[in-house]
Amino acid sequence: MDRKPNPPRDSRDFRGGRDERDRRDQRSGGGRPSPGSRPAPAPAPVPAAVAKSGVPHGATESGWLPDCVYTGGNFETGLAFFADTLGRLTRFSREPADLAMARRLDGQAALPGLVNTHSHAFQRALRGRTEPRGREALERLLVRMTGEDVFDTARITFLEMLLSGVTCVGEFHYLHHQPDGSPWPDANHLSREIIRAAHDVGIRIALLKVAYARGDFRGDAGSAPARFRLASAEQFVRETEVLRVAVEKDFPADEAWLGIGAHSLATMPLDAFKSIAAYARTQRMRLHAHVSTTAEENAACLAEYGRTPVALLAEHGLVDKRFTAIDAIHLGEDEVKLLGSARAAVCVCPIAEHSLGLGVAPVEKLAAAGAGISFGSDRNLQIDLLKDARMLEYSLRTRGQPRSTFAADAATALFQAATFTGARSLGATGGALEVGRPADFFTVNLSDPSIAGSEPDALLANIVFAAERRAIRDVWVGARQRIANGRHALQGPMVGRFIDAQRRIWGP
């Protein structure tokens, strides 16, 4: 029996993004990439663990049969799932012949890959140097971090994401220039290095190219730190367009694509913000920005523009279903309604926000109003989206009225945020295991002590609230195995390169 799972809620909104990607896929021919702006390194031999797929080489279909698979909002047992050679899910089946043909994933449960909506990969190099604050460490990093260091740091960050079940990342990228602050001969050099790092590791990436103009509200144009600084909105758009065309040519549309970021209203004056948003709209790109991260930011925005950030952006037509507000901690009731009625997304980063003592976004109100909630690892202090999910829920319970919670079925709602809604925020094709979407999934080891003994009806809550990261065993992206038994085939060299980069940055 073929079985087509129920579409998750919000699937109509998703369709827009997917159609867009599909059209681009056809235009670009869907060919394999020749990534990067500089000559690609000699291809590494494909290790056995990577070459393995659900069925032997030469077959037109890959199939898997875990103990149970999370699809249509439930864990199903005795259900195999199959993907075509493009890595897209084609069918689910309980037919004995199909079950016999599928690759058995014994003692494992399969779940859709997690989507990390907001990362600053380069900040992984600051880990351990920003507790509690790290202004000096950041300044040192900015003058020492070479292009190669950026690549090695992004690569280990994306590796760690894959190890934690993340199959798609939104990289909010604003480190653009050379260590001395001057532009690279290719202005998009570091954007390309970030995409190359994602490709090397095998994770999908929405590169959100971020404009950052000034140090703070009312700051002079060009007062931003030199390595982030925007020359002008027009130049930013020109350079981004060059990159967009190159990425579209070099990569399948759902492996790497561009979005636009405005760092925040503090760092992007409204007129410049509007210019880059207009460009994003013409290309149907997603637009992300930090908003209302602190109460001070709201007060300064009110002083400069007479409105708080979300109200100001909405007044200028910038809040719509392609917009994602990052942090969104200090929102008025009207702003919650604006984000909700626009069907915009809100990305919260609980570990990062807690680390800075910033507070918690009113996500239960935002979700009730219609906004999509997703998760980001932001500073990459720790990379564990399920930990972000449980931290958010516990914060709501601590902060709110008695019995305050994200949703009545908290585990399902949190997992939806970590997968499907995150994909929608990035314009990604994944986020759920259903026919037509990519075979992006991770498995958990059902014998791991942190989740052992769970019956299927309690398994999702066990995973969301209790799974240790080591329980994540295998990770597949587009039907290709990237993590086998908790390890990436190229993990050793990637970690070694990063250790060398850290020595260069922090050594004498």
Q: By the criterion CB under 5 A, which residues form the site for Zn ion? A: 378
Instruction: Give me the DSSP letters along 411-467.
Output: HHHHHHIIIIIHHHHHT-S-SS--TTSB--EEEEETTSTTTTT--HHHHHHHHHHH-
Q: Which is nearer to Zn ion, 250 or 378 (CB)?
A: 378
Q: Rounded to whole angstroms, how far apart are CA atoms 149 and 433?
A: 36
Q: Which is nearer to Zn ion, 347 or 467 (CB)?
A: 347
Q: Rounded to whole angstroms, how far apart are CA atoms 157 and 151?
A: 10
Q: Which is nearer to Zn ion, 186 or 216 (CB)?
A: 216
Q: Rounded to whole angstroms, how far apart are CA atoms 4 and 15?
A: 17
Give the β-pairing of 62-71 and 103-112. parallel
Q: Rounded to whole angstroms, how far apart are CA atoms 370 and 414?
A: 15
What minimum distance in Å lies between the beta carbon of 496 and Zn ion? 28
**At a CB cut-off of 8 Å and minimum separation 6, what does 69 contact?**
75, 76, 79, 81, 109, 110, 111, 433
What minimum distance in Å lies between the beta carbon of 268 and Zn ion? 14
Q: Which is nearer to Zn ion, 152 or 378 (CB)?
A: 378
What minimum distance in Å lies between the beta carbon of 148 and Zn ion? 24
What minimum distance in Å lies between the beta carbon of 505 and Zn ion? 21
Number of Cβ within 10 Å of residue 398's Cβ equals 9
Q: Is 181 exposed, middle or buried (0-12, 13-18, 19+ CB in 10 A)?
A: middle
Q: Which is nearer to Zn ion, 90 or 267 (CB)?
A: 267
What minimum distance in Å lies between the beta carbon of 236 and Zn ion? 19
- Quick one: tokens of 209? 């190219």
What minimum distance in Å lies between the beta carbon of 25 and Zn ion? 29
Q: Select the residue whose beta carbon is closest to Zn ion and give its number.
A: 378
H/E stretch holding 480? strand 480-484
**At a CB cut-off of 8 Å and minimum separation 6, what does 230 contact?**
211, 212, 213, 224, 236, 268, 272
Q: Which is nearer to Zn ion, 254 or 378 (CB)?
A: 378
Q: Which is nearer to Zn ion, 65 or 385 (CB)?
A: 385
Q: Which is nearer to Zn ion, 293 or 454 (CB)?
A: 293
Q: Which is nearer to Zn ion, 351 or 451 (CB)?
A: 351
What minimum distance in Å lies between the beta carbon of 119 and Zn ion? 8
Q: Rounded to whole angstroms, how far apart are CA atoms 312 and 273?
A: 11
Question: Residue 455 — φ and ψ, nearest 5°?
Answer: -75, 155
What minimum distance in Å lies between the beta carbon of 172 and Zn ion? 6
Q: Rounded to whole angstroms, how far apart are CA atoms 432 and 272?
A: 36
What minimum distance in Å lies between the beta carbon of 492 and Zn ion? 30
Using only the alpha carbons of the chain, give its radius of gyration.
22
